[in-house]
Amino acid sequence: MSLHFTLRQSNIKGSSVYKKWFAHTLKQGELTMDEIERRIQNRCSVTRADVRAVITALQEEVENGLKDGMVVNLNELGKFYLSIRSECVDSPEEFSVQKHVKDIVCKYTPQGHRINAGDQRIVRAFTNDCTLEQVSAYDEDGHVAKRVRRGGHIRKI
């Protein structure tokens, strides 16, 4: 399986990238919790109910940790933390949670590592060895209608 993309032209007038082409990822469906449970059940000795129980407990612990202001590190899966979006004010005395806090968002950083010491590039676990495939369109059933170009494995993003 590969990550499908198509080329799109920017239509943001006044932008430095106006009329330039860029890669746009095409989603190939959605992997639901039910399907994940079935797949895990088929790979090991636990039942689907066991998988559901563990995932539910994990979800609750992640939520509790986030609400306590912790960074939740799930090793190879990555790290999660909460961040606040707020309006700026001129002085601390002016700030009001009710008035200036706009949202609390969950941020995610995939696990990764530097290739060499001092290197600024980080290889992310989910993108390492990702195969890219350029397609021009999908048919009405969601299958690739036409392949344009098959890319190689991507090692550094």
The answer on 50 and 38 residing in a single domain is yes
Total domain count, the chain: 2
Q: Is 100 contained in some domain?
A: no
Q: Is 108 contained in some domain?
A: no
Q: Is 125 contained in some domain?
A: no
Q: Is 51 contained in some domain?
A: yes
Q: How confident is the model at residue 8 (pLDDT cuts 50, 70, 90)?
A: confident
Q: How confident is the model at residue 30 (pLDDT cuts 50, 70, 90)?
A: very high
**147: pLDDT strictly greater than 50:** yes
Q: How confident is the model at residue 98 (pLDDT cuts 50, 70, 90)?
A: very high
Q: Are 123 and 103 in contact (CB under 8 A)?
A: no
**154: pLDDT strictly greater than 60:** no
**79: pLDDT strictly greater than 80:** yes
The answer on 35 and 19 residing in a single domain is no
The predicted model scores a pTM of: 0.70
Tokens of 155: 């090692």
Cα gap 43→38, rounded to integer Å: 9
Q: Is 40 contained in some domain?
A: yes
Q: Is 93 contained in some domain?
A: no
Q: Is 137 contained in some domain?
A: yes
Q: Is 10 contained in some domain?
A: yes
Enclosing domain of residue 66: 31-70
What's the confidence (pLDDT) of residue 130?
A: 80
Residue 84 neighbours by CB under 8 Å, 6+ apart: 101, 103, 104, 105
Tokens of 130: 């990702």
Cα gap 46→51, rounded to integer Å: 7
Pairing, β 130-138 against β 3-9: parallel
